């Protein structure tokens, strides 16, 4: 959520920044609503002053010779009227405050100054590439054909569809084990090499957690909501429960920065994606991710984004998967992000790079929604933290990239060297 004081003081600048992402801020509507809130506050304060003055009259009347009961009776009607007016005004002020919060909750984060302009992913700016795409001496298959053709364990969409419908997958045997090996490898790298603390979190969260990270109220159609006694949702990413661990807390300065890594399944309805990536594992309702989350001091978040992105890149490099890094333009930026890097891995079957990780700096946008703060030792006062997250990596898409980049002409798949210790030295899936 944006800082309401910044909107009051620098509304035009924020409106112009939001225009970079194609969002039209109703600045006049905000100012009118904020003006109504201010008027309601003034009226409440005036009524409270009148009530205080009326209450003082009881003492004055007693001093003039009236009994206590006579004095109270004389001003009772005035106090009753003022109390009723004050109750009405407080209720009205709360309604306006709720309207104002709902307005602010619907406004996306302002892009960082360096975010390039643009309407969609076609306008994203490439920063660098790593690795050289493999030149095949045969026509490479896509991951579906490779996975379905394995004999030691295979990719099975037909039986997954029998269980759950489209956009689900079943993996068996050595392929399932390779998938698990990827998770273990990523967690080991991030905990032992990059200094993250591993977490295990619930896969069901309440609406407050989703509002804190920005999925609610705007993106409810993308979520799976549970039916039952409590209002709970399946998590779309570990970002939600992990970041919300700091909600309504004040962190000690000496415990920062906080770096967390967490593996979870992720559940997304993929609303609006009908017809997109219907074949295979690129866009699923259920998939696995190893998520990186950082909570840092405000002055450190830009540097932290570079470091976090580098940690995700290190996984791709150790798996020897060619990729490129792009900066998202304003029009492709996520709702809560101020700046995002996408890592896109090379897929031979598509002859193009596809997203495998998004690494974002949210600055204080999520922290304000969650009231996640730290105590600044220089001032002794609580201040909002800055939050960051990124996939390190999306496990299913990493498996897709391995199946395609490491496939052999006869249909087998070479196991990347970094993963062989996790498969008891196995070098190839037949």
The set of catalytic residues is: 268, 283, 355, 358, 397
Is 356 annotated as a binding-site member? yes
Was 183 annotated as part of a binding site? no
Burial 254-274 (b: 16+ CB within 10 A, else e): eebbbbbbbbbebbbbeeeee
Q: Is 268 known as a binding-site position?
A: yes
Is 349 labelled a binding residue?
A: no
> What is the C-alpha separation between 215 and 219, in angstroms, rounded?
5
Q: Is residue 270 a known part of a binding site?
A: yes
Q: Is 177 annotated as a binding residue?
A: no
Task: Consult the annotation and say whether 404 binds a ligand.
Answer: no
Is 278 annotated as ligand-binding? no
Would the annotation count 301 as a binding residue? Answer: no
- Terminal CA-CA length for the chain: 51
414 is in an annotated binding site: no
For 375, phi and psi rounded to 5 degrees? -95, 115
Residue 176 labelled as part of a binding site: no
Is 126 annotated as contributing to ligand binding? no
The C-alpha atoms of residue 251 and residue 326 are separated, in whole angstroms, by: 33
SS3 readout for the chain: CCCHHHHHHHHHHHHHHHHCCCCCCCHHHHHHHHHHHHHHHHHHHHHHHHHHHHHHHHHHHHHCCCCHHHHHHHHHHHHHHHHHHHHHHHHHHHHHHHHHHHHHHCCCCCCCCCCCCCCCHHHCEEEEEECCCCCCCCCCCCHHHHHHCCCCCCEEHHHHHHHHCCCCCEECHHHHHHHHHHHHHHHHHHHHCCCCEEECCCCEECHHHHHHHCCCCCCHHHCEECCCCCCCEECCCCHHHHHHHHCCCEECHHHCCEEEEEEEEEECCCCCCCCCCCCCCCCCCEEEEEEEEEEECHHHHHHHHHHHHHHHHHHHHHCCCCEEEEECCHHHCCCCCCEEEEEEEEECCCCEEEEEEEEEEEECHHHHHHCCEEECCCCCCEEECEEEEEEEEEHHHHHHHHHHHCECCCCCEECCHHHHHHHCCCCEEC
d(CA 16, CA 153): 54
Question: Does the annotation list 357 as a binding residue?
Answer: yes
List the binding residues for L-serine. Answer: 237-239, 268, 291, 389, 391
As annotated, the binding site includes 237-239, 268-270, 291, 355-358, 389, 391
Q: Which residues does the annotation place in the binding site for ATP? A: 268-270, 355-358
């Amino acid at each position: 959520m944006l800082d309401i004081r910044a909107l009051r003081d620098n509304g035009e600048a924020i409106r112009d920044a939001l225009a970079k992402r194609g969002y039209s801020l109703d600045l006049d509507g905000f100012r009118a609503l904020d003006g109504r809130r201010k008027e309601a506050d003034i009226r409440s304060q005036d009524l409270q002053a009148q009530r205080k003055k009326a209450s003082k009259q009881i003492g004055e009347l007693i001093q003039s010779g009236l009994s206590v009961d006579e004095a109270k009776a004389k001003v009772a009607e005035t106090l009753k009227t003022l109390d009723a007016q004050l109750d009405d005004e407080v209720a009205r002020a709360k309604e306006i405050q709720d309207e104002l919060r709902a307005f602010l909750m619907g406004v996306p984060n302002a892009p960082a100054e360096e975010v390039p302009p643009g309407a969609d992913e076609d306008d994203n700016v490439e920063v660098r590439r790593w690795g050289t795409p493999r030149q095949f001496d045969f026509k490479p298959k896509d991951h579906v054909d490779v996975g379905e053709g394995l004999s030691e364990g295979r990719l099975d969409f037909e039986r997954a569809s029998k269980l759950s419908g489209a956009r689900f997958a079943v993996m068996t045997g050595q392929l399932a084990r390779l998938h698990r090996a990827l998770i273990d490898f990523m967690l080991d790298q991030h905990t032992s090499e990059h200094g993250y603390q591993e977490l295990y979190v619930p896969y069901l969260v309440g609406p407050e957690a989703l509002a804190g990270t920005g999925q609610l109220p705007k993106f409810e159609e993308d979520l799976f909501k549970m039916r039952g006694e409590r209002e709970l949702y399946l998590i779309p990413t570990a970002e939600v429960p992990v970041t919300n661990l700091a909600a309504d807390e004040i962190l000690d300065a000496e415990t920062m920065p906080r770096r967390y890594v967490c593996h979870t399944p992720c559940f997304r309805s993929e609303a609006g994606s009908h017809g997109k990536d219907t074949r295979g594992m690129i866009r699923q309702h259920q998939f696995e991710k190893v998520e990186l989350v950082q909570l840092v001091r405000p002055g450190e978040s830009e540097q932290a984004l570079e470091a976090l992105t580098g940690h995700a890149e290190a996984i791709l490099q150790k798996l020897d998967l060619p990729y490129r890094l792009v900066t998202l333009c304003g029009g492709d930026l996520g709702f809560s992000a101020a700046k995002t890097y996408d890592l896109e891995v090379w897929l031979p079957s598509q002859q193009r790079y596809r997203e495998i990780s998004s690494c974002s700096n949210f600055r204080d946008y999520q922290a304000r929604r969650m009231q996640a703060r730290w105590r600044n030792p220089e001032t002794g006062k609580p201040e909002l933290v800055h939050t960051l997250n990124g996939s390190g990596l999306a496990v299913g898409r990493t498996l897709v990239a391995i199946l395609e980049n490491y496939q052999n002409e006869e249909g087998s798949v070479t196991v990347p060297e970094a993963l062989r210790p996790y498969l008891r030295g196995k070098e190839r899936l037949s």
